[in-house]
Structure 1
Amino acid sequence: MSAATINTFISSSIDTGNKTLKYTLIFLLIFSAVVSSAFTVVSSGISVPWRQITGGAKTNEQKVLQKLSAATGYQLELFADDVPNARWLAITRSGDILVSQPKKGQVSLLSPDRNGDGRADSQRILIGDLNRPHGLLLHENWLYIAESDAVGRVPFDHSDARLAGRYQRIVEGLEDSGHWTKTLEKGPDGWLYLSSGSSCNVCVEKDRRRASIMRLRPDGSDLKIFATGLRNSVGFDWSPKDGGLYATDNGRDWLGDNLPPDELNLIHPDKFYGWPYAYGDRVPDPDFIDDEDPTIKEMITSSLPPVHEFAAHNAPLGIRFLRSPEQPAGYRGAALVALHGSWNRSVKDGYKVVSLHWDEGGKISQRDFLWGFLSENRKEVSGRPVAIAEDGKGNIYISDDYTGAIYRLSPTAIHQKVKLSAEKAPTTPRVPKKPPPTDATAAREGRALYLSHNCAQCHQQQVPLTGLNKKYTLQSLADYFDAPTPPMPRYDLTEKQKKALAHYLLSREALQ
């Protein structure tokens, strides 16, 4: 049925007052448009991993062991399998794994494998109500979170893996159309570095912060553009060997299966890396090839080419240089890169983690490190790796936003050692902090609040309130009530009420 015929029926239904038929036919019109669009997509020669859009992809230990293969010298385990839309990773001083989940607007915490079964011992939401959180960074006693339109931070207590205050945005007003993810890392110079992708496939950006890597101070001040022409540099890291800042970059779409290459760039301050005017080794983009503007020609000529090229549309995301001395000799100082996998080519490609190795002359070679997410016929997808993190023991964690999984790869030498995971490592005794002075009147008001909200129902049985004087000041405990750790709900307390409750809790503990 043509659109014109459907419109005639709709007009007729309006005249006769048949609203049911009217809305039924409107639905048919919309549905036919959707089906037509889907047919156009399929017939255009692309191959989309549909469950990335529709959801429902799952994995388990049996599938992982049957389908996935790891580089020689590593043991693969399914660390967690219920972290939907798992994206970026960060590891605390105590070994907890933080995972951003943009679609859920939250960051989850996975506790380390202390019982030796290869799985996270527990999982909980650390913080929610965020706007598509992506990049995560632990710096000093702060957890930094890169939302799609802002950067925020919250005090983080590494001793018990809980938030120790309220979440505050330190950078706001970032554009988040198109390639919306923001990634945050700390440089060796003490500054924070922030990447922001382009708003489009190919265009001249109005906001110079798009398609760039920026730099800012840890308090959010002095935000400046560091490098430009980077279409979508989701991952970046500093090499422990040469100190260089290396960033992955996703090339443009719709130039066929094999163009343009995706890139690894060595980032220098105030340099331009080609997009949107050129790709690869200064190859002019077809959208600008006939442009006679001398400024554009000069920009292409002066742009820096990539130091390594990935296959077109492989979508390199996270990159992490391996630093632990526990790594096999051939991997110390190598970089792991997560190839998220293609959608804009007729035959799927990518869908694996590769390792990059630098020889004495600086030449880079690429090897498969974790593969099997793509079937041999290159039609079925069972995972899409995103980010990579390494703990101090050499364990490597890889997120998968397709199945909501976290994989762990450990050097086999670690598994040959005697495990003492069930025992707690001895800790250095701490000198108890003197409890802060409390106001008796405020403490009485706080007690009334504690009773009125029936706080004891949870805290006497499920979450005992202990050690508060060691972890909080009056102000930091009051601030904690602005963004409490679930399952504690957030109450709309005034500043006076928050301080009164803090006075009560600290004085109550001191008297016990």
Structure 2
Amino acid sequence: MDLIAKATAMVGGSIAFVRRMGAPSHQAFGTTPDIPAARKQGIMTLKMPAAEGWKDGHVPTCAPGLKVNAFASGLDHPRWIEVLPNGDVLVAESKEQAGPPKTLMDHAAQATMRRVKAIGKSANRVTLWRDADGDGVAEVRKVFVENQNQPFGMALVGDRFYLGNTDGVRVFDYASGDTALAGEGEKLVDFKPHGHWTRSLLVSPDGSKIYAGVGSLTNIADQGMEVEEGRAAIWELDVASGAARIFASGLRNAVGMAWEPVTGKLWTVVNERDGLGDETPPDYLTSVEEDGFYGWPYCYWGQTVDDRVPQDAAMVSHAVTPDFALGGHTASLGLCWMPDGTLPGFGAGMVIGQHGSWNRSKLSGYKLIFVPFENGKPSGPSRDILSGFLSEDEKLAYGRPVGVTLGPDGKSLLMADDVGDIIWRVTAA
């Protein structure tokens, strides 16, 4: 496998170098992005920094007026965070468990992902972290639940705790202050595993519904649409009855979700398709309409057809155009609403954890960013909250941002870093 990794890095680096010379000079960002025409790649660009981690006091770079510290460290690939009403912080520790590679491209892609610890043996647990003395550093660590199947999203409704495993949602009994869940829980809904495996969860404001993101199996339905049934969608689960249905579809990989308080709309961040160029198409932040269709796999950013895919003109005709482009292949995963007054110098808006690209000639993402909102919509360019996760020569990843949420005090952000194995805490300086 080391030989494959080295060969992939050499070949991928050569291809990326050539493609970088013709790459667009701008990123496709904002409400009216300049999206370059598709350039079919044939052999997909594979470029991934090696996982380095944080050493010798090195920490992410903060925006002016902010500071960052490690709230929790020594985790095993932390991906998602949930803050309980009593202030306990739950962290899902899991990673992709790749199946046997079927093609040379599969071998290459898996070798690339291993460089940054993105695939491998999964911890398959949720840990609980408690900052009892309020100093911004957790001193209590407990295993909240273990022996799960790539756990990710978490949600609490009353005394019932919901966990999004890759193969479905389980529910457990919970009482305030519990440091561990008892029993195996109850399976409520089944999801198809593998592919885009994360299953984020979000509770409706009234507590009656839970929304779950279920990504596609493949890039562009490469194995046909039958295996994609029930995927590339956001599901809605009725808490009282347990009934589940697809709420919105055509979302290749919708991960983070959040409620926008002015309009009450559901918003999500979506990872778009590969193989059409550095900036084509961009990942995006969008409001989600009930029964809305967002294009995948037939088209992107509205009705821009992907002619690599057998077409369905009727589906293309009513594809919804997303609200805000986030740049090509930034792997925007984490999402939370940040109220005005949370961090100095930042108003109300969405905070997004950009995990970072692996499939473009010039790497993108590797940041925690903020998109300001006014009257329920994005109102300006994005700004960096945390950066410095990538070395200047793009060869090393010190960390990779994933899930983000408000801290228990309401005056901080907590962000999972699955390369640094740290939960970072951002506050006023």
Shorter-chain TM range is 0.7 to 0.9
Give yes or no for the alignment of 1:197 onto 2:215. yes
Match of 2:87 among 84, 92, 95: 95
1:217 aligns with 2:238: yes
Distance 1:376 1:151, change over 3 A: same
Query: Could you list the per-position Cα deviations for residues 119-141 of structure 1 after superposition, in whole angstroms to 9, with x for gaps in the alignment?
Result: 21121211111011111112212
Q: 1:259: how far off?
A: 1.2
Q: How does 1:27-426 map to 2 (within 5 A)?
A: 36-37=7-8, 39-45=10-16, 46-51=46-51, 57-59=52-54, 62-64=57-59, 68-102=60-94, 103-112=122-131, 114=133, 116=135, 118-163=136-181, 165-189=182-206, 190-203=208-221, 204-206=224-226, 207-218=228-239, 221-288=242-309, 296-323=312-339, 326-328=341-343, 331-360=346-375, 362-365=377-380, 366-390=382-406, 391-412=408-429
Aligned to 2:190, the other structure's residue is in SS state coil
CA separation of 1:86/1:344 partners in 2, compared to 1, >3 Å: closer, same or farther?
same
Alignment-mate amino acid for residue 95 of structure 1: G
- Which letter does structure 2 place at the counterpart of 1:368? D
> TM-score scaled by structure 2?
0.80
Runs of 4+ off more than 6 Å: 30-34
Instruction: Tell me the residue number matched to 1:493.
Output: none
Larger helix proportion of the pair: 1
Q: Does structure 2 retain, via aligned residues, the 8 Å contact 1:171–1:220?
A: no
Distance 2:345 2:171 in 1: 37
Q: Which residue of 2 aligns with 1:426?
A: none
Shift of 1:43: 3.5
Task: Tell me the CA shift for residue 364 of structure 1.
Answer: 3.4
Closer, same or farther in 2 for the Cα pair 1:331/1:37, shift >3 Å? closer
2: CA distance between counterparts of 1:368 and 1:141? 37
Aligned-residue RMSD, C-alpha = 2.3
SS of residue in 2 equivalent to 1:299: helix
Q: Distance in 1 between matches of 2:168 and 2:155?
A: 14
1:170/1:219 contact within 8 Å kept: no
Measure, in 2, the Cα distance between the counterparts of 1:32 and 1:155.
48
Structure 1 spans left out of the alignment, 5+ residues = 1-29, 52-56, 413-512
CA distance in 1, matches of 2:325, 2:232: 18
Cα drift, residue 47 of structure 1: 1.6
Deviation at 1:172, TM superposition (A): 4.3
Distance in 2, Cα, partners of 1:220 & 1:243 = 23
Q: Assess if the C-alpha contact under 8 Å between 1:61 and 1:78 holds in 2.
A: no
| Conserved? CA contact 2:294–2:302, under 8 Å | no
Q: Secondary structure at the match of 1:271?
A: coil
- The code of the aligned residue for 2:58 comes to K
Q: Is the 8 A contact 2:343 2:427 kept in 1?
A: no
Query: Could you list the per-position Cα deviations for residues 160-192 of structure 1 after superposition, in whole angstroms to 9, with x for gaps in the alignment?
Result: 4343x4232333431112111111110124201
Shift of 1:31: 7.5
How far residue 358 of structure 1 moved from its aligned partner, in angstroms, is 2.0
Bigger RCO (CA 8 Å, 6+ sep):
2
After superposition, give the CA deviation of every residue in 1:82-134 in whole Å (9 maximum; x if it has no partner): 11110110111221110001220100111115162x42112121111101111
User: Shift of the alpha carbon at 1:144?
Assistant: 1.1
User: Which entry has the higher C-alpha Rg, 1 or 2?
Assistant: 1
Distance 1:73 1:242, change over 3 A: farther
TM-score (normalised: structure 1): 0.67
Q: How far, CA to CA, are the matches of 2:292 and 2:93 in structure 1?
A: 32
Q: Distance in 2 between matches of 1:34 and 1:313?
A: 21
Contact 2:145–2:180 (CA<8 Å) still a contact in 1? no
Q: Structure 2 CA distance, aligned partners of 1:407 and 1:34? A: 30
Report Cα offsets for 1:242-278 as digits up to 9, x if no partner: 2111110001111122211111121011110011011
Count the aligned residue pairs: 367
User: Percent of pairs identical after alignment?
Assistant: 30
> Given residue 104 of structure 1, which amino acid in structure 2 is its aligned partner?
A
Deviation at 1:221, TM superposition (A): 1.5
